[in-house]
Amino acid sequence: MKKAKLTEITTLYRFGIPFETDATVFKKNDLTFKKCEKIDYFSITEKENKIILTLKLFKDDKVYGLGETLGSLNKRGKVYKLYATDDPIHTPEKDALYGSHPFVIISNKFGFFIDYPGEMIFDISYTKLDKMIITINSNNFDIYIFDTKKDVEVIREYLKLTGKPYIPPKWAFGYQQCRWSYPDAETIKEVANNFRKRNIPCDAIYMDIDYMENYKVFTIDENKFPNFPEFVSEMKSMGFNLVPIVDPGVKIEKGYDVYEEGIKNEYFCKDENDKNFVATVWPGYTHFPDFLNPEVRKWWGEKYKLFTDLGITGFWNDMNEPSIFFVPKTLKEYLKKVDKLKEKEVGLEFFMIKDEAVSLSNRREYYKSFYHNTPQGKYSNDEIHNLYGYYMTKATVEGFEKIIPNKRYLLLSRSSYAGHHRIATIWMGDNMSWWEHMLVNIRMLQSLNLSGFFYTGADIGGFGSNTSPELVIRWMQLGVFSPLYRNHSALGTRHQEPWAFDEYTEEILRNTIKLRYALIPYLYSEFFNSVDSLIPFISPLFLYFNDEISKNIEDQFMVGNSIMATPVIQPNAKGRYVHLPEHKWLYWKVSNYKYRNVKVYEPGDYYIDADLNEIPMFIKENSLIVLNEEEINYINEKSIKELTVIGFVTDSGEFTYFDDDGETYNFKNGKYVKINISVKKIENGYNYEIEKDESEDFVSTIEIIKFEIYDEKGEKYTEVLEI
């Protein structure tokens, strides 16, 4: 093996000749490598073409990272398999999900990133309490060691290496409604009308697979969506963005243009016999585009024009692990077995065969049996399995660069690899309407943020199984602090739109969503600040506070620099326990953002009240948040004239408000406004300062800033300044 020193803190160790993934932003060819025998921290063993890296863990070591994985935030005590898998049942024993983010922080010691796109297994204090055992299914890979004890520095270094987090359009910070499916234009219109009629803000409605003609990608079913362009513009005029789903499998059907083009140009993945590989997904028999081939990406990316020409800028790329229901041969074999059962009376045989049907999906052997034609040569899917979702998304983004240059887009993908956060994002896949999955949501939100996915979220209310009014309420309250605020549910399950329950639930959900909209100036500004400073937007407490308890808190998190979210995630609860680290906190129990139900807390541990209609949140001592108190139906409905600054200031607090056009990259050329707001405690009150930094090309619409500052006793001071 060889090593190259990248920076003061980063060393790259290279084993064999790795497949060059797209994870990092620099050219590795320019590096000078030196031979080496050992790597820092790990011991190395080789077994049957696999490399095993072992790290000793001490009793108090905390291990964070691995992005989209189940288990706790501190990853000790479980085995994680990084091998993209479409598994819709996220129970605790599961080891693999959709993404692969092999970035790990050994808190207060060092961090590392293994750039390897095939199967990797992380056994972290599972087999042995004091060991992390990493099995890499190859002897060709890169490992980067970040040698700094500061966790924040480890993250920053990882993000410098893999790139700045992607920034969606501003409307993507609004509330979004999804369902598998709203099957036709009429249903979507009805949903849209309900939001406006009921005075519930909303920015986006999703289109799941039923909009397509027989699930054929890049088609629209004319019967369900007659005059699609007119429908899209009607939605737009009401302030709704439509977000269609895109699946990779191309239906095998003579005369279908996407299929014909793919066949003609050899754009599909091949099987062992160099024939187009056949897998079954929604449309029936399909071929998979070979996104590892740049020419295929070019072809695919421009197909989104069907939608972008109509002004659509939001998409979700699904099923791109890629998910495989079965391949024709295995189904045939299975059906033969079923047929045999007809011959005699069966008991046990039935039991075995019913489970076998499920096991027809996503078999490892399928991934070993098809191939990619990459610029680096031919690889089986299995060898570079974790890259398919990323490259499908790269195809989309490369298309956007041509067809909607300088337009920001909302792009969710289900599968992803390290570095994906730079070009788009992911949602967390198929969770369930279970209370337990709210905790999973919170942990993953933090863990994904550590890996650069600052804008992400889970299916709010739960995707599979039936939800309840209370669960939706508590989950929607958590969602106020989730960058992606999308309610989604599966076919056949109970509806979970805000009005799907009863009037009281609807009223609570209306106020909940309105709080989100009031917080948009804060969230949007802090999102940009996070991307600039490379500090997670949603952050575990351990990045901010050093006390021992904070390091183990998994169900509270920082949202930007000033807010700590402490969602209620238990049924029938009238509150929850919270840990308030280091300094004083201002508790705001929000039932309606117009009322400030606030109270000062000393640092410590408490049980705080939060009834079903109350959202608990804390403002950090000596910090400020900004609100837009004017009611809006959607983000770009009106420009903001008045900002409200709420602060908890015992000495001084500052905030940088940021705004831009919300839909282009012009902010990179200085077209934005920043308002630096600072509040300082003086004798008998406060000193307020505002400093505006705006470009001629983007002028702020804010005319008035209202201050509402609380002191250490919770006493309120107000001031209004014109700007």
Interacting residue ranges for ligand MIG, rule: CB under 6 A: 180, 208-209, 245, 318-319, 414, 429-430, 488
CB of 429 to ligand MIG, least distance (A): 5
Among 382, 380, 370, 415, residue whose Cα is nearest residue 279: 370
Q: What whole-number distance in Å separates Cα of residue 521 and Cα of residue 626?
A: 6
CB within 8 Å of 27: residues ≥ 6 apart: none
Q: Which is nearer to ligand MIG, 202 or 245 (CB)?
A: 245
Q: Which is nearer to ligand MIG, 250 or 640 (CB)?
A: 250
Q: What whole-number distance in Å separates Cα of residue 120 and Cα of residue 122?
A: 7
Q: Which is nearer to ligand MIG, 437 or 579 (CB)?
A: 437
Q: Which is nearer to ligand MIG, 458 or 619 (CB)?
A: 458
Q: What whole-number distance in Å separates Cα of residue 142 and Cα of residue 26?
A: 14
CB of 326 to ligand MIG, least distance (A): 13
Main-chain phi, psi angles of 61, to 5 degrees: -65, 140
CA angle, 153 as apex, 148 and 158 as ends, to 5°? 100
CB of 183 to ligand MIG, least distance (A): 12
Main-chain phi, psi angles of 662, to 5 degrees: 80, -5
Q: What whole-number distance in Å separates Cα of residue 616 and Cα of residue 608?
A: 8
Q: Which is nearer to ligand MIG, 382 or 430 (CB)?
A: 430
Active-site residues, by number, are: 318, 321, 430
Q: Which is nearer to ligand MIG, 321 or 383 (CB)?
A: 321
CB of 700 to ligand MIG, least distance (A): 38
Q: Which is nearer to ligand MIG, 282 or 542 (CB)?
A: 282
* DSSP states of 455-493: S-B--BT-SBS---HHHHHHHHHHHTTSSSEEE---TTS
Matching residue, tokens 């929607």: 476
Q: Is-contact 554 542, C-beta < 8 A?
A: no
Among 219, 288, 283, residue whose Cα is nearest residue 251: 283
Among 386, 453, 411, residue whose Cα is nearest residue 155: 453
What is the token pair recorded at 689? 């300062």
Q: Which is nearer to ligand MIG, 91 or 597 (CB)?
A: 91
Q: What whole-number distance in Å separates Cα of residue 677 and Cα of residue 688?
A: 8
Among 411, 385, 383, 381, residue whose Cα is nearest residue 399: 411
CB of 208 to ligand MIG, least distance (A): 5
CB of 249 to ligand MIG, least distance (A): 11
Q: Which is nearer to ligand MIG, 209 or 649 (CB)?
A: 209
Q: Is-contact 723 703, C-beta < 8 A?
A: yes
Burial 703-723 (b: 16+ CB within 10 A, else e): eebebbbbbeeeeebeeeeee
First and final CA of the chain: distance in angstroms? 61
Distances (CA, A) of 330 to 137, 351, 357, 367, 446: 26, 19, 10, 14, 40
CB of 320 to ligand MIG, least distance (A): 10
Q: Which is nearer to ligand MIG, 208 or 290 (CB)?
A: 208
Distances (CA, A) of 53 to 3, 126, 154, 484, 677: 16, 15, 20, 36, 49
- SS3 string, 610-629, reads CCCCCEEEEEECCEEEEECC
Q: Which is nearer to ligand MIG, 151 or 430 (CB)?
A: 430
Matching residue, tokens 């490399």: 51
Among 161, 154, 136, 145, residue whose Cα is nearest residue 18: 136
Q: Which is nearer to ligand MIG, 168 or 536 (CB)?
A: 168
Matching residue, tokens 């948040």: 625
> Would the CA dihedral through 404, 410, 415, 418 be positive or negative?
positive
CB of 455 to ligand MIG, least distance (A): 17
> Would the CA dihedral through 402, 403, 409, 412 be positive or negative?
negative
> Would the CA dihedral through 473, 479, 481, 486 be positive or negative?
negative
Question: How do 425-426 and 623-627 pair as beta strands?
Answer: unpaired
Residue nearest to ligand MIG (CB): 180
Within 137-293, residue ranges assigned H as helices are: 151-162, 185-197, 228-237, 257-264
CB of 170 to ligand MIG, least distance (A): 24
CB within 8 Å of 102: residues ≥ 6 apart: 66, 82, 113, 114, 115, 116, 120, 122, 418
Q: Which is nearer to ligand MIG, 143 or 178 (CB)?
A: 178
CB of 219 to ligand MIG, least distance (A): 15
